[in-house]
Chain A
Amino acid sequence: MAIAERRDVEDGALARASRVGGLLQRLPNSYWAVGAILLCLPLVANDFILYQILGWAFILGMIALSLMFLGGYGGMVSLAQMSIAAMAGYMVAILGSSGVQTISLNWPWWLYIPVAILIAAVFATMIGALAVRTEGIYTIMITLAIAAAFFYFTRQNYTIFNGYSGFANVVPPEVFGVNWRTPVPFYYLSMFWAVVSYLAVVYVARSPFGLALQGVRDNPRRMAALGFNVFAHRVAAYAFASVIASIAGILLVWQNAQISPGTAGLPAVIDILVIAIVGGIRRPIGPFIGALIYVLLRTFSPDVLEALGLPGDRFKLLIGFGFLAIVYWSPDGVLGLWERWRRRREGDHDAAAPSGEPR
């Protein structure tokens, strides 16, 4: 796709005008098909599916996408992405309005949303500045430590984060006279931002910034020898990913109408990693597939377990077994399984060969 785009050069004054049109024409058919299904789904699906299943999957998918961007393109696995999302969610509750009148500042939405994203981005940049000095397992450890610290801090701090109980009654503003918490509007809202985040990641991956990030992943020493400031590039990747996580965090607090320390507790933090790995951390679509699988399992496995005569609260066991199976048979997630299956169908017996780095 990227090659075709580069070859497709238009010069002159018309270039800018025809650019958007050209971009639309180059979208593969699968994009149109998925887009049409997503747009028309509210005609057939019920409110529960739209709001609880798909809305939640879009949100978790976005947070896992921010991890995929860092991990897949930057080679940095950050466990702090849920904490960054929760930071944005908390800021919306604190700067906007909530049930806790003594803390919330009741700012207008057009002010508190950008400020919340900005604060979360600053938070993420600080995390990045700490974490990028480490490599591999140590990055995971330090971001896990930060996530744990954030959880305990929000639970113990009552002046800003309202401690254990957090904030309730955090609802989206009625922009354009729409109640965005009703199922169909919320479905479209979360879908819109999920699609925007996905396309942004796909686009940025081929920009100088994205290419350089992949260069840093493949060979940091050589990147420095080409004139790149490797440290700054890695930190900037944290900042970029944090914007996606922040938008998801704001949607999450609106969907639940509340936020509390448990939102970014360690189980939630680890779930994001599981979602990204199960879906596939090598491509931007992977996290959304992983999120859908996770949400479906989490929602329906109690029923399945009970039908089998097992206690329904053991649904995490199913998720755990699923995670083990994926990691064991397909280190590049469900996407990797799918790609191998397709290659085998095409008669290519090279199925064992590793599929390349994300492009």
Chain B
Amino acid sequence: MIPAERSIGEMLTAAGTGNALELRGVTRTFGALAALTDVTLTVKPGERRGVLGSNGAGKTTLFNCVTGDVLPTSGTIRLFGEDVTRFPPHERIRRGLRRTYQISLLFGGLSVLDNVYLACRGVSRGRFSLIRPRRSDALMQSAIELIEAVHLGAYAETLVAELSYGQQRQLEIALALAGAPRFVLFDEPAAGLSPTERSELVEILTNLPRHIGFIIIEHDMDVALRVAESVSMMHNGRIFKEGLPSEIESDPEVQELYLGGGHG
């Protein structure tokens, strides 16, 4: 490689025109356990990446490091070119990052509308406002639109604790799409959903605006390979293979490790 070209590339990355997400040598240990070991991962803006791996492969820890729920032991994380390694979660979210949780983390004591309204409010001004929102507020309107987008329009005033499991999963996605997301982390969005709900989910994910990139952790290969354009395989805290969905599906090593050789 010509040295001059390389430095231009680095300059572009530094200026924020490079990757949506860039992890370099991210390691996270919990005591003696290495949950992540030297993970390097780049995702371009608008790219849709699947992350596959068995239980305990470190997928959720990867997400927790990206959102700042846990800090990496070493390594750097860049979001749209900016080094966010030591940023608190809310600062990363305000820069366009979003995530959903494997086990829904919702506000059970509040209504569906209030949940989504809070999500919209979290990434805009007036988080400390003492003035009650009115139905005609722009944020309230976008909350209503989001609820309709995830097919929960009829449940706007329902307490979240009273929703069905599948509905809570849909709300989980609505919370992640509030504001102007640029990059979303979906943590097993299909877990526990019925086949019908799964195809609805695939529809929601594939219909996201093209500029929104995402990473999806998914056990359901059908869902993951239908929505992802590229796939990273994790095992024991490391990424050991990256490629197109078709390549991953036919890879013998993947078959061996992840599918137990008996998929399909």
Contacts and interface: CB of A to CB of B under 8 A. Distances in A.
Given A9-B136, A357-B109, A208 B129 contact: yes
Given A6-B134, A7-B135, A226 B122 contact: yes
Interface string A227-240: 11110010010000
Contacts of A85: none
Contacts of B68: 224
A212 B114 CA distance: 9
A209 B67 CA distance: 23
Nearest to A206: B132
* Interface of A: prevailing SS: helix
Among A208, A214, A226, A228, the one with the most B-chain Cβ atoms within 10 Å of its Cβ is A226
Interface residues of A, number: 37
B24 to A, nearest CB: 23
A230 B107 CA distance: 14
A5 B262 CA distance: 58
Nearest to A210: B130
A210 B121 CA distance: 12
Contact of A227 (B122, B130, B136, B159): B122
B107 A207 contact: no
A207 B130 contact: yes
Contacts of A225: 67, 69, 89, 93, 98-99, 101, 105
Among B117, B121, B123, the one with the most A-chain Cβ atoms within 10 Å of its Cβ is B121
Contacts of A227: 90, 93-94, 122-123, 127, 179
Given A6-B133, A209-B128, A214-B109, A226 B69 contact: no
Given A214-B110, A225-B93, A228-B90, A5 B132 contact: yes
A124 to B, nearest CB: 16
Contact of A226 (B119, B132, B133): B119
* Interface of B: prevailing SS: loop
B108 interface: yes
Given A225-B99, A229-B88, A212 B121 contact: yes
A356 B159 contact: yes
A227 B67 CA distance: 11
Contacts, number: 117
Interface residues of B, number: 43
A218 B108 contact: yes
Contacts of B90: 224, 226-230
A341 to B, nearest CB: 23
Contact of B93 (A8, A211, A226, A356): A226
A3 interface: yes
A222 B69 CA distance: 10
A214 B160 CA distance: 13
B88 A224 contact: yes
B159 A223 contact: no
Contacts of B119: 226
B178 interface: yes
Contacts of A212: 118, 121-122, 127
B127 to A, nearest CB: 6
Contact of B135 (A9, A223, A226): A9
Interface string B63-99: 0000111000000000000000000111001100011
Contacts of A157: none
A207 B110 contact: no
Given A223-B122, A225-B89, A226-B93, A207 B157 contact: no
Given A6-B134, A222-B106, 4 more contacts: A204-B130, A211-B118, A212-B122, A356-B109
28 contacts: A6-B135, A8-B135, A203-B132, A208-B118, A208-B127, A209-B127, A210-B130, A211-B121, A212-B127, A215-B115, A217-B109, A218-B109, A219-B106, A221-B69, A221-B105, A222-B101, A222-B175, A224-B89, A225-B99, A226-B90, A226-B93, A226-B119, A226-B178, A227-B122, A228-B127, A229-B88, A233-B128, A357-B108
Interface of A: 3, 5-9, 11, 203-204, 206-212, 214-215, 217-219, 221-230, 233, 236, 356-359
